Structure 1
Amino acid sequence: MIPIQIPNSDESLNAHWNGIKTIFSKANWQTILDWIEEKELESILGNSKEKQIKNLILASPSLLRQIVNKVGGVINTEDAQDHNLGFIKTKYKSFTGREEHLYRPSDLVENLGIKVCPYCNRTFILSTKKNNGKIKRTDQLDHFFPKSRYPYLALCFYNLIPSCSACNHIKDEQEIGLSPYEIEKADDVLKFEWKPKDASFSYPKGNIVITPKPNPKTNGQMQSNIEVLGLDQLYQNHDDVVKELLLKGKVYSKAYIKSLVNAFSTLIESEEEAIRLITCNYTNEEDLGKRPLAKLTRDIAREVKFIK
């Protein structure tokens, strides 16, 4: 799992608000304001009626947790009626099915500048535009707090997680511990480790076991993500990547990497670039969202001393 780092957060947030607010009617706005007053959310969203709905739609991850802790979630049909904001979930359908010239999910993902699913870091989520202007999406939007239980958060910016179809399907309506928006650095929450599967292992060939190991400081939240998303099982499919990196660690010494830079100085500008060519991936923290399996590559590259 990797963090979502928003390049221009103010612009992305304003674009989301300006796009979403057009979906609501005046009656919808009043219903939301009445709900905020009924649930006594002024301490979280502010006393200004003009800003309360905007503050709800753009609530930070920490504020979303405060709202959820105060309001709770839908338990049954009667409870859903008591919330009075089930219509927001319906409005979400309007958002995902909007005309091409209006703000839509592909715009949200594009504004975030993320190319790979932050949940699994295994799959590209890039969209393509056809000649007729229609968008062919490979991304989906997961609701960190499921919209079936928290319909009032169905259109909140930080509750919408760009994801691949596999992760969105696996997570479904389950809740997990950490949002990608709550992670500052991937290394703070997760580290990939490997070990021989049995005594027949011959370095770097043979069967190995890959383990996504959560940081204990996450207090079980990252472990919840791993279990719900099935990351421990999914990453067993990438043992070939690990074994290749282990082999490259033996073949490409620090001295050899330096010699490559010196020999091809007009093509390779730095050791960092040479390492990217060797590992076939990005290894810097800020680049983990650019290519699949970058976090796995980073952890193994550190082990074989390509990076610190």
Structure 2
Amino acid sequence: MIAIPLDKVRNIQKAYQSEIDMQRQNALDELNVLNSEKHTVVDKEYLEFVISKFENQNDNILLWDLNRIKEEINKIDFKNVPTEIKNGKTRKTGIKDKIIKCLGYTKLRSSFYPNYFNDIGIKACVYCNSQLTIVANKKHAKFEVDHFYSKSDYPFLSISLCNLYPACASCNGTKSSKKIEFELYTDDISKTKKSDYKFKLTSNSKAKYLVTRDRNNIEVEFEEPDYKSNEFAKFNDVFHVEGIYKTQNDLVEELLIKSQIYNESYLNILKSSFYKLNLNPEVFKRIIIGNYTEDIDIHKRPMSKITMDIARELGLID
């Protein structure tokens, strides 16, 4: 729900430079092995197009930002995934899945992405912020990522790092190929300091709860920006954000109760105690509300966005 500075991402990528270079080379080796097999003319033409994108070690496709990716897609000589007609229906040929397998996307979800995105500071779904981005099975945990440009339409971008948006399984499946206007990695610093999305209590919600002490009277609204084009779907329409957070009334209730307990004099006593412990003021705020308190930290923990927004509204934090 907030953009991350591209400079920060670049610095993390530099720390992983040797691994990222190896991923490109491994993908290229596997693609060349695949190319040595028999293919239809259109499949082979597309495969060789993909190979050409991985050949330049000085222009690693894994490090392309979204602007560069858009430029490549808009080029005149860009090639789409081949299609075939089977049982009267048009579908993409099997070369798409073979390419994704060659790139090692599935293995990277458990071997590389958890550490890489953890270092960037992303642990929670960048869309709903209600769940972690880890999906566990019997063998191990895998990192769940959404592809800004779908791997079905653009299989060669399936491991390009700026095309990967960490998401929970629910949001990833719900979004599918829908278009949303959300830039996760940006050079625009203003977009990295304050989120364009906001949770707030509905009118009279606080008063109703304080009178009745019935959490069913707590209602939260989700506000999102006006998008430039009708081609983009709204967050709430795609990810059902308000529906998700209707189940979190107990979290909001706790903040309402805290706002009654932690009056100014009590907060000053607590601050004084924390000062003696030589703790960072931000840690104090975090302990008070039970989560992160700054927009730039939204991705670090689930429920941080709604917690900080309602806490601000109730005067628990600045």
**Per-residue deviation at 1:271?**
4.3
Q: Provide the TM-score with structure 1 as the length reference.
A: 0.74
| Distance across 2 between alignment mates of 1:268 and 1:222 | 47
1:112 is displaced (CA, Å) by: 3.2
What is the CA distance between 1:14 and its match in structure 2?
A: 5.3
Consecutive unaligned residues of structure 2, counting only runs of 5 or more, are 36-44
1:88 to 75, 96, 99: 99
C-alpha contact 1:4 1:114 (8 A) present in aligned 2 = no
Aligned partner of 1:124 among 117, 132, 140: 132
Q: Which one is further off, 174-183 or 137-146? A: 174-183
Say if 2:209 is the partner of 1:195: no
| Shift in CA distance, 75/278, structure 1 to aligned 2, threshold 3 Å | farther
Corresponding residue for residue 35 of structure 1: 49
- Contact 1:121/1:295 (<8 A) preserved: yes
The secondary structure found in structure 2 opposite 1:88 is helix
| CA distance in 2 between partners of 1:86 and 1:275 (Å) | 48
Deviation at 1:73, TM superposition (A): 5.6
- 1:149 equivalenced with 2:153 (yes/no): yes
Partner in structure 2 of residue 287 of structure 1: 297
Q: Aligned pair 1:227/2:266, yes or no?
A: no
- Quote the offset at 1:49 in angstroms: 4.9
> What code does the residue aligned with 1:235 have?
Y
Match of residue 282 from structure 2: 272
Alpha-carbon contact 1:145-1:159 (below 8 Å) kept: yes
- 1:258 is matched with 268
Other-structure match for 1:3: 3
Q: Residue type of the partner of 2:120?
A: L
Instruction: Establish whether residue 61 from structure 1 lines up as the match of residue 61 from structure 2.
Output: no
Matched, 1:136 2:147: no
**How much does 1:99 deviate?**
12
- Kept in 2, the 8 Å contact 1:214–1:223? The answer is no
| 2:254 maps to which of 206, 230, 244 | 244
Aligned to 1:114: 122
Q: Displacement, 1:176?
A: 2.5
Q: Which residue of the partner structure matches residue 131 of structure 1?
A: none
Q: CA deviation at 1:284?
A: 1.5
Task: Find the aligned partners of 2:242 and 2:33 in 1 and give their Cα distance.
Answer: 43
The count of residues paired between Structure 1 and Structure 2 equals 291
Structure 2 distance, partners of 1:275, 1:74, is 51
Output one character per residue of 1:97-138: Cα deviation in whole Å (capped at 9) or x when no partner: 3798xx54434434434222222211233589xxxxx97215
User: Alignment partner of 2:234: what SS?
Assistant: helix
Question: 1:127/1:253 Cα in 2 relative to 1: closer, same or farther (>3 Å)?
Answer: same
Comparing 245-254 with 67-76, which one deviates more in the overlay? 67-76
The answer as to whether partners of 1:196 and 1:208 remain within 8 angstroms in 2 is: no
The one-letter code matched in structure 2 to 1:59 is W
Which runs of 5 or more residues in structure 1 are unaligned?
129-133
Shift of residue 2, structure 1, vs aligned partner = 3.6
**Sequence identity percentage:** 24
Paired AA for residue 116 in structure 1: A
- Give the secondary structure class of the aligned counterpart of 1:193: strand
Q: Distance in 1 between matches of 2:181 and 2:82?
A: 20
Provide the alpha-carbon RMSD of the alignment. 4.1
CA distance in 2, matches of 1:80, 1:13: 37
2:271–2:284 CA contact under 8 A, matched in 1:
yes
**3-state SS in 2 of match to 1:161:** strand
Cα distance, 1:37–1:124 mapped onto 2, change above 3 Å? closer
> 178, 181, 190: which is aligned to 2:182?
178
8 Å contact kept, 1:191–1:213: yes
**2: CA distance, partners of 1:219 / 1:293:** 29
**What letter matches 2:254 in structure 1?**
E
In the alignment, the residues of structure 1 paired with residue 149 and residue 181 of structure 2 have an alpha-carbon distance, to the nearest angstrom, of: 10
Amino acid at match of 2:3: P
Measured after TM superposition, the shift of residue 17 of structure 1 is: 3.4
- Is the CA contact (8 Å cut-off) linking 1:284 and 1:298 kept in structure 2? yes
| Alignment check: 8 A CA contact 1:268 1:274 kept | no
One-letter amino acid of the structure 1 residue matched with residue 72 of structure 2: I
Contact 1:16 1:108 in 2 (8 A): no
What per-residue deviation string (whole Å, max 9, x for no partner) do you get for residues 123-173 of structure 1? Answer: 233589xxxxx9721531221211112223122111122222222222234
CA shift at 1:252, angstroms? 1.3
Q: What letter is aligned with 1:65?
A: K
Q: Separation in 2 of the partners of 1:199 and 1:161? A: 35
- Contact 2:2–2:195 at 8 Å: present in 1 too? no
